[in-house]
A and B are shown apart, each in its own frame.
Chain A
Amino acid sequence: MSSKASLSQEKEIILAYVIEVLVINVSNAALTLLLGFLLGVLPGTAVCLATVAVFRLFAGGAHASSPWRCAVVTILVFPALALLAATLSPLKQPYVDFLAVVAILTGLVLIALRAPVDTPSAPVISPVRRKRLKYLSIVVLFIVAAIIFCLRNSAWAYAPQMRLCLILSVLWVSLILSGAGQRLMALIDSINLNLPTRREV
């Protein structure tokens, strides 16, 4: 493509980067939604995925060292959050309100203290950009908090489940922003996936 479009080497590198990003994210999102569909929690999975994606754009978070580990975590986490939301949806309103307050306060504190959490492969260098990303993360949190509040008074049958999806997504974002989340990813990175091979006789 680059030779046909006669691109410079620099643009060629950028093109390779963006294609890698698109392939990883689109395939992970598609497989996550597929698992959500198979488990019967597609709308919840989509809500969790979209919420965390918007947060991660601005707040960043812990990262895995390989695309395969990343794919496994991404594909498992979002349907699991949606399943948990579906399981918890019969909970009475005061308990859900308490969970919402805990999630929003935890999210606010962690965003204020740590966002944006960058990686060595994509560092946030400019202090102005760092400040802007933190500000936008807080704006996103307030929008999500407003949606959680609006869903509280909604008559929509799926409102309690979607509300819990948003609450659990905010808690997941808080975890991946925290030191504990980074240690969890380091633990996942340290899992040796090389299965022992049979010794030849």
Chain B
Amino acid sequence: MKKILLVFTVTVLMFLAHVTAASACLISIYQPEVPNSLRR
């Protein structure tokens, strides 16, 4: 059960990473360094 929850959390976070990297920036006016693999 713990393993499934962990995999689910990682999947959701990975999805969010792609969504946030696809947009120009977010609410805050500070932008952390986007990983090279997400740069488009």
Seen from chain A, the residues whose Cβ lies within 8 Å of a Cβ on chain B are: 1, 4-5, 7, 10-11, 13-15, 17-22, 24-25, 28-29, 49, 52-53, 56-67, 69-71, 73-74, 115-119, 121-126, 129, 133, 176, 185
Contacts and interface: CB of A to CB of B under 8 A. Distances in A.
Contact of B39 (A1, A60, A123): A123
B9 A1 contact: yes
A124 B24 contact: yes
Interface of B: 6-7, 9-10, 13-14, 16-17, 20-35, 37-40
A82 to B, nearest CB: 15
A18 B16 contact: yes
Given A22-B16, A63-B29, A116-B24, A121 B10 contact: no
22 contacts: A1-B9, A5-B7, A11-B10, A13-B35, A15-B10, A15-B13, A18-B14, A19-B13, A21-B20, A21-B26, A53-B26, A56-B27, A71-B30, A73-B29, A74-B29, A121-B32, A121-B33, A122-B24, A122-B33, A123-B39, A124-B24, A126-B40
